[in-house]
Structure 1
Amino acid sequence: MTSGSNRKDPAWQYAHLVEENNLNKFECNFCGKVSNGGVYRVKQHLAGGYRNVTACPKCPSHVREEIREFMSKKKTQKEEINMLPDFNDMDMEDEDEDDDVIEINVNQHRKLTSSSQGSSKSKSKSKTPKRKGPMDVYFTPNPESVVKNRKDQAKGKQTKIDANDPYKKEMRARALQRFARWMYDAGIPFNAVNYESFGPMIEAIGQYGPGMKPPTYHEVRVTQLKKEVKHTEDLMKYHKEDCAKYGRSIMADGWTDKRGRTLINFLVNCPRGTMFVESVDASSYSKDGQKLFELLDKFVEKVGKENVVQVITDSAAANVLAGRFLEAKYEHLYWTPCAAHCLDLMFEDIFKIPRLKKTFERGIAAHGYIYNRPTLLNMMRRFTNLKNLIKPAKTRFATAFLTLSRMHQQKNNLRKMVTSEDWTSSKWAKEPQVLRLVDTEKKPPMGYIYEAMDRAKECIASSFDHKEEKYNEIFEIIDKR
């Protein structure tokens, strides 16, 4: 039995031993509950908020706060000596944490090893940190699986283990503050936390515990990058298996970089998804149909001509010619024009119709005039309830079309703006307007184009009360593409 001076834990003031020599069994002085697990279980009982321990219903608030403060200090001390954090959902956690149990073990150890008291004192006075051994490497749960299970539990509205643990909340808040500060310092986009790889990364760090050494510049730039390349190559094995089984589509996506080079990205698509293969600088022959055919033919041979179902490019004249050459050489292969590019060309031809061309030019010019003047743009947003006129889309002319649609929706508010006192007293009402057309070109893919075009044609016909003479010219453009 320990003396009163050895009972440093405040829990001894609010609970007593049921049996004099049994330090695992305590009875609460407030509610009379008997608990096993030592004085640490008594502290959990008094502090409350633990999943496997019933909180004392009669514990005074000042006692509860005293116990919580004591436990928080103990936990902080553990972290400072690089010990693993507490896991409150374990049934027999931290039972060697109590000062009394440690000091009893010290006295027993002195009796058994009197010949080596000096070394025993130094070792027994300080707890040996709990360390993870080699078996933890093999039995630690996979981070991806842990994150997936956590998401499944959240969907089922199951209670989180640490939802009511004030200490874990405080530790999480501290970790979030540090992580967010690092993001702000490094200029990392906020949507990085939405990546699927983010959750498993956090879980893996948590599984390591305190004292993890951060990765070095060389590790992330060389060592880990090589490993990730190898990991990606392993993932592609499944794509290649599906390609051999179901066939594949080759997609050639041409674009121009900031240096004016014409680059072609080659991608392979199969039911499992799309994978990037390589990028080619085609600046010297991007307008040469024969050269593009040779490039596409070489790539078909490279990925395996027997499994290629179709080759997809935009419908530029050189690509059309290259596609025809491919179909002539490979009877089983089809050349397919990019749906997004076809849609862009449709809009371009539609806006060439004289009565629509004038509307298009005026609308885009007015849009450019407003957006090139920040103060005027701010005025416009006041009248449109912060609505923007621009509506980005997948293609250049689709963006222009949707921008005109936005202007049509906001026409009443725009009229109010140009008849308001703000406008008439501004410099823009007095200066001649200098208008210019500004738009950009982007060509991401667009799916299910045929059904969408049918619905668009029905909408156009309905808008003109099915009077064919008003929309026949537009339908001819659409059908031609």
Structure 2
Amino acid sequence: MRNSFPRTKIEHEKYSTKGKNEATADIGDHGTLVDDVKYRIRCNYCGKEVTKYSRFRQHLGGTHGGVTPCDEVPEDVKECMRQSLQIRKEIRQSYELCSLGEENSDSNESIEQNADNVESIQPYSLRKRKHSTIIEYTGSEQEDEILKKEEAEDYSSRQTQRCIGRFFFENCIDFSAANSTSFEKMINVLVGGRSRVYKAPSCDDLKGRILEEELKAMRERVRKVVCSWRSTGCSILLDGWTSEKGRNMINFVVDSPRGPIFMKSADFSDSIGDVDAMVSLLSGVIEEVGVQNVVQIVTYTTAGMMETVGKQMTVKYKSIFWTVCASHCIGLMLEKMGMLGTESRVLSKVKTITKFIYSHETALKLMRKHTGGFDIVSSCRIRSMVPFLILERIQSQKKYLRKLFISPEWKNSTLASTADGEMVADLVTEDSFWTEAEVLLKASIPLIRALHQLNGGDRRPQLGYIYETMDQVMEAIKENYKGSETKYQPFWTVVDGIWENQLRSPIHAAGYYLNPGLFFSDDFYADNEVKTGLLCCIVRIAEDERERDLITSQFDDYRMSRGAFGDGDAVDQRAKLAPAKWWSLYGGECPELQHFAIRILSQTCTGALRYGLKRSLTEELHMKGRNCLEQKRLSELTFVHYNLRLQNLSASNADYTDVFFEPIDPMDEWVGGGGMEVEAAEQNGNF
């Protein structure tokens, strides 16, 4: 891989040349950077190594300056470098003349007489404005200062180009956009004016050296993350889907406290229903990550063959747990709630309202006018969550929606006299709809709040909280119905059924027990389910009998708050610090238990869906028909794109719930597709 250099653009018209094969002043075309700290470059023609860009230009241009000229350099390259050096010389002279503008005429004459040779400028003096002290500057000192300025410009140019490259890579922008005139003008406005030698990256730069640089940097970041897995462990997150063309895809993301990384993707369309093939695929991923590093696999579904795959994986790898994404399970809970008798009717009425409003321009304008621009429809990656989000948004605008459908503007509109218009107006203005909506929200809101918390509402790994979170959901539902068993029990049955049969795992019980903020609280309750889950984790994770015995014996110190566990800071920080952090600070006297606790509490309980990775890139990667070079480049771009996305999400202060929400699809069933076109045809006879 060739190291990169900033491109030097010759801007003086008198030096410009035409032609396809013209020589360039781009150092990267003539040398290889062998030391990016000391800026040592190896000449591609004679092999000599020269420090600093300016000296390398002198080497190629044959202008001496204390540097041995290159005997192998082509004449057109030599001339190009001489022109480049001449331009820099003129810039330096302008700089010197400006600096000496207020000096005596003798000094000015001296500089003008020697303007043809920067090296021959004699020492001169500059007066400090504040003091009468005279400071002497030699020509060589100022030359060094200017060379440093040039090198800083070169470095800044490279960094700017890499930032532009990241923007292209992260947002999957076609590289050909870099060749457009408007792109070049935009870059010149933003940064071009700051440097006389700056050039915006071209399409070839982006898919060539800049992509190579970013790939190298990303691999180094991944290497550092991988090094942390030995102490914290990691979770392999599965993100699977079926493309519009019917292909079955899966992305593999490895999550840990140091941040998530995209590992690889696969097209398993030819293996649908083949449990052994999926087990083999997952086993390859585990071996690549390192069996000793993997604590759990978080799957995106239990449908189809995945439940059987999970059972086989836990038999094959006894120390690895197979869990289901908590977000997926909560989505199932909401979906089943929406299928209950009364609740199903409420959601059907909600859809009637939204489809009518969003299908008619007049109704939509009136709604936005009365709600202050508020949209009652919201879209989400978890489809089963959408009806309840919309219901909650409609409920929040109850006052304004009712005013809308009794307003003169509505009554005077042509829509008010239509059958659909009358039906929607009746729904919104009658109390029964709002009563039914409120009843359903009492069950759904606790689940939606839990979904927010589990997906990074407080930026901490949530495995140590999932037990408590689901208990709180159940209690909140019961409290919302004021303890009326006939009202809350149907919802409890739904939540408890999915918790027991799909979501719950022994590792969740262990996380609950090891979370000091919960363990030492008044509400903590370790029933047989929790104790059995904890014991199961000890047996499976600590395969050595001696280690198991040590962990078991050290639990007494934790339970009784002995030693460092009972220190003032440890007690004070139980509920304030992330559980894994608390163990790393205060669990050192029980090293085996500390290691066990950190590995469990460092894990997530949700899958890769929360990162909102762009699936179309994976689909494109696995399309056939490319040559080897194009496939390699797309594979590298996919790796860089996904990991830039994950890195930026991990580094930001925002929680991950934002990626759940997406723009409303005009053809979504909740907005009625092309209804506004129908209304326009009704009113105007054409669209």
1:359 aligns with 2:346: yes
Q: CA deviation at 1:332?
A: 0.5
Scaled by the length of structure 1, what TM-score is found?
Answer: 0.58
Q: CA deviation at 1:271?
A: 1.9
Aligned residue for 1:278, secondary structure, equals strand
Please name the residue that 2:288 is paired with. 302
Aligned residue for 1:273, secondary structure, equals coil
Please name the residue that 1:478 is paired with. 495
Separation of aligned partners in 2, 1:432 and 1:212:
66
Q: What are the residue-to-residue correspondences of 1:155-170 with 2, within 5 Å?
A: none
Q: CA deviation at 1:370?
A: 1.5
Aligned residue for 1:326, secondary structure, equals helix
1:234 aligns with 2:256: no
- The AA in structure 1 aligned to 2:365 is N
Aligned residue for 2:251, secondary structure, equals strand
Aligned residue for 1:306, secondary structure, equals coil
Aligned residue for 1:335, secondary structure, equals strand
Q: 1:119 to 1:462 in 2, by over 3 A?
A: closer
Separation of aligned partners in 2, 1:142 and 1:378:
52
Q: CA deviation at 1:99?
A: 3.3
1:327 aligns with 2:327: no
1:468 aligns with 2:485: yes
Please name the residue that 2:475 is paired with. 458
Question: Structure 2: where are the runs of 5+ without partners?
Answer: 1-86, 122-138, 161-178, 424-450, 457-461, 499-687
Q: Is the 8 A contact 2:100 2:108 kept in 1?
A: no
1:213 aligns with 2:199: yes
1:409 aligns with 2:396: yes
Q: CA deviation at 1:243?
A: 1.6
- The AA in structure 2 aligned to 1:372 is S
Aligned residue for 1:311, secondary structure, equals strand
1:349 aligns with 2:336: yes
Q: 1:260 to 1:379 in 2, by over 3 A?
A: farther
- The AA in structure 2 aligned to 1:455 is Q
Q: What are the residue-to-residue correspondences of 1:427-446 with 2, within 5 Å?
A: 427-433=414-420, 446=455
Separation of aligned partners in 2, 1:403 and 1:258:
26
Length, aligned pairs only: 332
1:387 aligns with 2:374: yes
Q: Between Structure 1 and Structure 2, whose CA radius of gyration is higher? A: 1
Separation of aligned partners in 1, 2:184 and 2:384:
34
Separation of aligned partners in 1, 2:399 and 2:323:
43
| Structure showing the higher helix proportion among its residues | 2
Q: Is the 8 A contact 2:248 2:268 kept in 1?
A: yes
Separation of aligned partners in 2, 1:334 and 1:310:
4
Aligned residue for 1:284, secondary structure, equals helix
- The AA in structure 2 aligned to 1:368 is K
Q: Is the 8 A contact 1:339 1:446 kept in 2?
A: no
Task: Please identify, of 229-238 and 282-291, the stretch whose mean Cα deviation from structure 2 is larger.
Answer: 282-291
- The AA in structure 1 aligned to 2:354 is H
Q: What are the residue-to-residue correspondences of 1:46-125 with 2, within 5 Å?
A: 83=91, 97-99=99-101, 101=103, 103-107=105-109
Separation of aligned partners in 1, 2:261 and 2:321:
20
Q: 1:361 to 1:283 in 2, by over 3 A?
A: farther
Q: 1:119 to 1:342 in 2, by over 3 A?
A: closer
Deviations 1:14-42 (A, max 9, x none): xxxxxxxxxxxxxxxxxxxxxxxxxxxxx
Question: Structure 1: where are the runs of 5+ without partners?
Answer: 1-78, 87-92, 148-181, 194-200, 436-442
Deviations 1:253-273 (A, max 9, x none): 113444343211101112211
Q: Is the 8 A contact 1:326 1:335 kept in 2?
A: yes
Please name the residue that 2:604 is paired with. none
Matched-pair identity in %: 25
Separation of aligned partners in 1, 2:239 and 2:478:
34
Separation of aligned partners in 2, 1:424 and 1:459:
41
Q: Is the 8 A contact 1:347 1:397 kept in 2?
A: yes
Q: Is the 8 A contact 2:474 2:492 kept in 1?
A: yes
Q: Is the 8 A contact 1:82 1:211 kept in 2?
A: no
Aligned residue for 2:420, secondary structure, equals coil
Aligned residue for 2:196, secondary structure, equals coil
Q: 1:134 to 1:104 in 2, by over 3 A?
A: closer
Scaled by the length of structure 2, what TM-score is found?
Answer: 0.42
Separation of aligned partners in 2, 1:136 and 1:81:
13
Q: 1:328 to 1:273 in 2, by over 3 A?
A: same
Task: Please identify, of 401-410 and 328-337, the stretch whose mean Cα deviation from structure 2 is larger.
Answer: 401-410
Deviations 1:74-115 (A, max 9, x none): xxxxx999848x9xxxxxx979624352732254579xx8xx
Separation of aligned partners in 1, 2:258 and 2:236:
14
- The AA in structure 2 aligned to 1:426 is S
Q: Is the 8 A contact 2:376 2:393 kept in 1?
A: yes
Higher relative contact order (CA 8 A, sep 6+): 2
Separation of aligned partners in 2, 1:211 and 1:229:
26
1:368 aligns with 2:368: no
